[in-house]
Structure 1
Amino acid sequence: MALKAPNYTLLPQGETDPLTSTRQRTQVNWRRLYQWAIPVILSIAVILALIITNIAHTGTDSDWDHHSSLPACPQYPALVSSTGNKKFEKDVLDEISSEGFFGKSVKRMQGAVQIPTESFDDMGKVGADDRWNIFVDFHAYLEKTFPLVYSKLEISHPNTYGILIEWKGKDESLKPYLFMGHQDVVPVPKVTESRWKYPPYSAHYDDRFIWGRGASDCKNVVIGVLEAFETLLEKDYIPERTMMAGFGFDEEISGWQGAFYIAKQLEDTKGKDSFELIIDEGGLGIKEMYGSMFVLPGVGEKGYHDIKITVETAGGHSSVPPDHSGIGILSQIVSAIEAKPYAPNLTPINPYFTTLQCGAEYGPSMDSWLRKTIKKSLTSKAASKKVAEYLSNDNINQRYLMQTSQAVDLINGGVKINALPERVFAVINHRIAVESRTKDVRENIQTLLQDQILKKFSMSLNAWGNVSGNTSSSAVGQVILEDFDEPLEPSPVSPFDSEAYKTFTGTIKQTFGEDYIVAPSFMTGNTDTKYFWNLSKNIYRFSPVRDDGRANAHTVDERVGMKEHIEGVKFYTQLIFNGDRK
Structure 2
Amino acid sequence: MIKKIFLFLLVAALLLVGIVLFNTFRFSKEIPIKASKELPALPDSALSHLRAAIRIPTITFGDGLPVDTLQFNTFWQLMEQQYPLVHQHLTHQSFNALSRLYHWPGKHPEQKPYVLMAHFDVVPVEAATAKQWTVAPFGGELKNDTVYGRGVADDKASLISILEATEKLLAQGFQPERDFYFSFGNDEETIGHGAQAIAKYMQEQKIKPEMVLDEGGEITREHFPELKRPVALIAVAEKGYMSFDLTVDQAGGHSSTPAKETAIDILSKGLVKLREKQMPYKVLPLIHEMFQRIGPGLSFAQRMAIANPWLFEKVLVGQLEKDKSSNALIRTTIVPTIVQSGMKDNVIPSVAKAIVNTRILPGQTPDDVEFFIRGQVDDARIVVTKASQADYNGPAAALDSKGYLLVENATYQVTKDVIPVPFLSVGATDSKYFQPFSEAVIKFLPSTDSKGFHGIDERMPVSDFKRMIYFYQIILTQAGK
Cα displacement (A) at 1:282: 1.5
Structure 1 regions of 5+ residues with no counterpart?
A: 1-70, 81-92, 454-460, 462-477
Cα displacement (A) at 1:315: 2.6
Matched residue of 2:102: which SS?
A: strand
Aligned 8 A contact 2:248 2:383 in 1? yes
Q: Distance in 2 between matches of 1:212 and 1:264?
A: 32
The one-letter amino acid paired with 1:509 is Y
Q: Deviations over 1:264-284 (max 9, x none)?
A: 11112234xx11111101204
Cα displacement (A) at 1:482: 0.6
2:319 counterpart residue number: 390
The one-letter amino acid paired with 2:210 is E
Aligned 8 A contact 1:79 1:507 in 2? no
Q: Deviations over 1:301-348 (max 9, x none)?
A: 112221111111133333333210111111111111111222433242
The one-letter amino acid paired with 1:260 is Q
1:545 counterpart residue number: 447
Matched residue of 1:216: which SS?
A: helix
Instruction: Choose the corresponding residue for 1:276, options 178, 193, 210.
Output: 210
1:104 aligns with 2:45: yes
Cα displacement (A) at 1:122: 5.2
How do 1:36-55 and structure 2 match up within 5 A?
none
1:503 aligns with 2:406: yes
Cα displacement (A) at 1:386: 1.9
2:385 counterpart residue number: 482
Aligned 8 A contact 2:218 2:446 in 1? no
Cα displacement (A) at 1:417: 3.4
How do 1:426-445 and structure 2 match up within 5 A?
426-445=354-373
1:356 counterpart residue number: 291
1:224 counterpart residue number: 161
2:199 counterpart residue number: 263
The one-letter amino acid paired with 1:258 is G
Sequence identity percentage: 28
Aligned 8 A contact 1:295 1:517 in 2? yes
Cα displacement (A) at 1:253: 1.0
Cα displacement (A) at 1:519: 0.5
Matched residue of 1:480: which SS?
A: strand
Q: Deviations over 1:484-531 (max 9, x none)?
A: 111225332111112222222122212224x42210011111111111
Aligned 8 A contact 1:72 1:358 in 2? no
Matched residue of 1:119: which SS?
A: coil
Cα displacement (A) at 1:437: 2.1
Aligned 8 A contact 2:242 2:391 in 1? yes
Matched residue of 2:455: which SS?
A: coil
Cα displacement (A) at 1:146: 0.3
1:533 aligns with 2:465: no
How do 1:53-452 and structure 2 match up within 5 A?
97-98=40-41, 101-121=42-62, 123-124=64-65, 129=66, 131-255=68-192, 257-271=193-207, 274-287=208-221, 289=224, 290-291=226-227, 292-348=229-285, 351-361=286-296, 363=297, 366-377=298-309, 380=310, 382-393=311-322, 395-450=323-378
CA gap of 1:551–1:102, structure 2 versus 1, over 3 A, is: farther
Aligned length: 452
Cα displacement (A) at 1:77: 9.5
CA gap of 1:309–1:542, structure 2 versus 1, over 3 A, is: same
Q: Distance in 2 between matches of 1:193 and 1:446?
A: 39
1:576 counterpart residue number: 476
555-564 vs 502-511, which moves further:
502-511
Cα displacement (A) at 1:206: 2.1
Matched residue of 1:387: which SS?
A: helix
The one-letter amino acid paired with 1:229 is T
CA gap of 1:240–1:404, structure 2 versus 1, over 3 A, is: same
CA gap of 1:347–1:188, structure 2 versus 1, over 3 A, is: closer
1:562 counterpart residue number: 462
The one-letter amino acid paired with 2:313 is S
2:423 counterpart residue number: 521
Aligned 8 A contact 1:357 1:374 in 2? yes
Aligned 8 A contact 1:284 1:521 in 2? no
2:16 counterpart residue number: none
Matched residue of 2:445: which SS?
A: coil
Aligned 8 A contact 1:277 1:539 in 2? yes
CA gap of 1:367–1:445, structure 2 versus 1, over 3 A, is: same
The one-letter amino acid paired with 1:483 is K
Aligned 8 A contact 1:302 1:526 in 2? yes
The one-letter amino acid paired with 1:570 is Y
Aligned 8 A contact 1:438 1:489 in 2? no
CA gap of 1:553–1:410, structure 2 versus 1, over 3 A, is: same
Aligned 8 A contact 1:284 1:523 in 2? no
Runs of 4+ in 1 over 4 A off after TM superposition: 75-80
Q: Deviations over 1:376-402 (max 9, x none)?
A: 11xx1x422221112212x22111111
What TM-score do the two structures reach when normalised by structure 2? 0.88
Cα displacement (A) at 1:79: 9.9
The one-letter amino acid paired with 1:156 is Q
CA gap of 1:192–1:316, structure 2 versus 1, over 3 A, is: closer
Matched residue of 2:342: which SS?
A: coil
Q: Distance in 2 between matches of 1:187 and 1:487?
A: 24
198-207 vs 280-289, which moves further:
280-289
Structure 2 regions of 5+ residues with no counterpart?
A: 1-26
Aligned 8 A contact 1:78 1:505 in 2? no
2:3 counterpart residue number: none
Q: Distance in 2 between matches of 1:286 and 1:173?
A: 37
RMSD over aligned Cα atoms: 2.4
Cα displacement (A) at 1:580: 2.1
Matched residue of 2:68: which SS?
A: helix
Q: Distance in 1 between matches of 2:431 and 2:67?
A: 27
Q: Distance in 1 between matches of 2:218 and 2:40?
A: 25
What TM-score do the two structures reach when normalised by structure 1? 0.74
Q: Deviations over 1:426-482 (max 9, x none)?
A: 1111111234221211111122233xx3xxxxxxx3xxxxxxxxxxxxxxxx43211
Matched residue of 2:48: which SS?
A: helix
CA gap of 1:386–1:436, structure 2 versus 1, over 3 A, is: farther
1:67 counterpart residue number: none
Matched residue of 1:258: which SS?
A: helix
